[in-house]
A and B are shown apart, each in its own frame.
Chain A
């Protein structure tokens, strides 16, 4: 079965880097995603990485993928108070051929001024 795990909480100071980690179990995943959810809102896609890539950088965001260990991380450089939110990693469970996503529990990022 598919399973995605994340740590639940991370607190950093404004200006520091944040690293949010995620592990997954489905080795057939083709894409892995990072979504951001602000309070009371839906999910916003931040970035994604294809499974044959090791790293992807997009402005302040860096995604690292270790496919051997099934480990995904999201690094946010120069973290701002506006980055405070819940961050979900998700893997695309392609076995169903519908493109459905399986989400981790979400990591609450708290950014202190």
Chain B
């Protein structure tokens, strides 16, 4: 169990368009999901923390109007890159924490396969 799926896995779009990436927990409910961005040969940069039913908490330096996050249900969070530009090209990864998982637990996060965005 504990599978997280992202869709699409790859997307190519034109500059100026918006792209939506979905993150779904397939066999568990996730009260918290995290969105990361990964540049080639670099670490995962946490972009935002998404809590079901509330506004996302963005990390410093991440434009919330640029990267819209919606966590409408306990199994789905979406990241929309608005007015995408070539510099937004990156590998975006989501992770999810199981509902009911207490901070005192191991806090294991389950990661999606990632979505590669290429903006032309």
Cβ–Cβ contact A106 & B43, under 8 A = yes
Size of chain A's interface in residues, with CB distance under 8 A?
29
Known: A41-B114, A94-B103. A101 touches B109 (CB 8 A): yes
What 1/0 flags go to B78-120 for Cβ under 8 Å of A? 0000000000000001010100010100111101111010000
Q: Which residues of B contact A41 (CB under 8 A)?
A: 113-114
Contact partner, B111, options A40, A42, A106, Cβ 8 Å: A42
Interface residues of A in 54-113 (CB under 8 A from B): 88, 92, 94, 96-106, 108
Cβ–Cβ contact B103 & A40, under 8 A = no
Q: Which residue of A lies closest to B110 (CB)?
A: A45
Q: Which residues of A contact B67 (CB under 8 A)?
A: none
Cβ–Cβ contact A42 & B43, under 8 A = no
What 1/0 flags go to B16-51 for Cβ under 8 Å of A? 000000000000000010101000011110100100
Cβ–Cβ contact A40 & B106, under 8 A = no
Q: Which residue of A lies closest to B45 (CB)?
A: A103
Cβ–Cβ contact B43 & A43, under 8 A = no
Cβ–Cβ contact A43 & B93, under 8 A = yes
Complex: how many Å from CA A4 to CA B109? Answer: 18
Q: Which residue of A lies closest to B46 (CB)?
A: A100
Complex: how many Å from CA A96 to CA B58? Answer: 12
Q: Which residues of A contact B4 (CB under 8 A)?
A: 42
Cβ–Cβ contact B49 & A100, under 8 A = yes
Interface centre among A94, A97, A98 (most CB of B within 10 A): A98
Output the least CB separation between A71 and chain B (Å).
18
Can you list 26 A-B contacts (CB < 8 A)?
A4-B43, A8-B41, A33-B108, A35-B111, A42-B93, A42-B112, A42-B113, A42-B114, A43-B44, A43-B111, A44-B111, A45-B108, A48-B106, A88-B43, A92-B107, A94-B103, A96-B49, A97-B103, A99-B32, A100-B34, A101-B46, A102-B46, A103-B43, A103-B44, A106-B41, A108-B41
